[in-house]
Structure 1
Amino acid sequence: MISAYIDFIRIRFLMMLAYRVNYYSGIIIYAINIGAYYFLWQAIYGSQESLAGFTVPQMTTYIAVSWMARAFYFNNLDREIANEIRDGSVAVQLIRPYSYLLVKMMQGFGEGLFRLLLFMVPGLFIVCLIFPVSLPKEPTVWLIYAVMLFFSFLINSQINILTGLFAFFVENNEGMMRMKRVMVDLFSGVVVPIAFFPGWLTGIMQWLPFQAITYLPSSVFTGRTPIKEAAGVFGLQALWFVILLLPIWLIWRAARKRLFVQGG
């Protein structure tokens, strides 16, 4: 049974490989985004050496790493699930001898591996050639960040699965998916690091899972969060992963009791 789930990873990877040209162009788009934010933050810093605990080199690295990490953990599982619910194909999936949600997670991971190898890694290499990105030299930092990046994928995928499952109840959750995407990009720290948010909003963000997707791992990678505190950051990611399992299970349990097909 485990090998069957691994096959879903392989199949999705090969499927993404067929459209690799789109992702090569995506590298250019991400590089342009990083360049725009780089020059914006250069103007904001001006002659100041540090803002909100970020030095200029740290901010440059944070921008590059955060956007390239997004290339790995980003997926459209919410849209896939919603589409399968609307066209009725989810009914066929439910009678098959495997976990529907686990299959979706494996498919998302297959897509993530493709993005990691053919988008994130070459994209980061190109960005480092263009902008003054300071990558850490300690292998420990890279190892810790790799584990944190994996949990970023898990948490983001859980949020996507939750959003997609709401299609069982609202029939058309397009608006919810768009709102979710904006919230993840903004509140995870991709657009603006959470340290720059107002104090009251930062306090609220500490009780939400979004910071565990980008801000916390990138802070460790850039050195803003000392390596000795990395265990606490990883623990917070693991905690959110466990917490999000509960609403997914509850919504999935309720959804299976009220499934009706709108077409197909």
Structure 2
Amino acid sequence: MTAITAPLALRPIIERRAFVEIIMGMPISLHIKAIDVQRADIEQAAANVFATLRKVDDLFSLWRSDSELSLLQAGAVIAGEAHEWQAEIVDLCLEAEERTGGLFTAWRNHEGARPAYDPTGLVKGWAVEQAAAMLRVVPGISFCLNAGGDMVIGHGPGMRGVAPAWTIGIEDPRQPDAIAATVEVVEGAVATSGSRARGAHITDPRTGAVVCRDGSATVVGPSLVWADVWATAAFVDPTWARELIAGEASAYSLTVL
């Protein structure tokens, strides 16, 4: 049997369009591929994506004193009045700590003070997944939603088996603006943890010490929440994380640079 390939002149022209907004203190970009990227339903979906991310920022930002989480921690809002997402994130943080053997935690120890709850390391990936759900119902599109290098890639109805792959570059942590490797993703998530962009900001929960070294860990898999968790754990302890991912998350692949 011989595959029949349509002549180039008969193939649909795939257009590309980008939307960008500053949310959570970073540029968040949405890239769409479709035959017609000017459709009204695509524009509405993009608006819904950014509205969802702004709502998450309103609820969880610890950089803002008026966010719901900041108000909860200040005692200005009681837990019973909080949005249901607050409890969902607490449960996910506890699960992540258990599944990583403590390599990932949302509770930070401060000398002379009680541990502080900071779910920032999990919330971003979770938020991007929530927002990406707005795109999966839009027919005839392929998308890449990127928040600071953490990405969800997918497509809408009618694109299974025909959605184009996205080529994702993994930045070389030792050479700014250089690409060390690439991965092809049609449906899934990519997360990277390291120190190049934000400096030494990741703490080893086992010791309380900041991880002071260069390099990065990138994880590709079906869920951005867990890809992000595994990437953080891998940067803290690459050897342990390799075993952990192989044992608990075989659907995920790890690149340590």
Q: Normalised by the shorter chain, which TM-score bucket?
A: 0.3 to 0.5
- Structure number with the higher helix fraction is 1
TM-score with structure 2 setting the length? 0.33
Structure of greater relative contact order (alpha carbons < 8 Å, 6+ residues apart)? 1
- Structure number with the higher strand fraction is 2
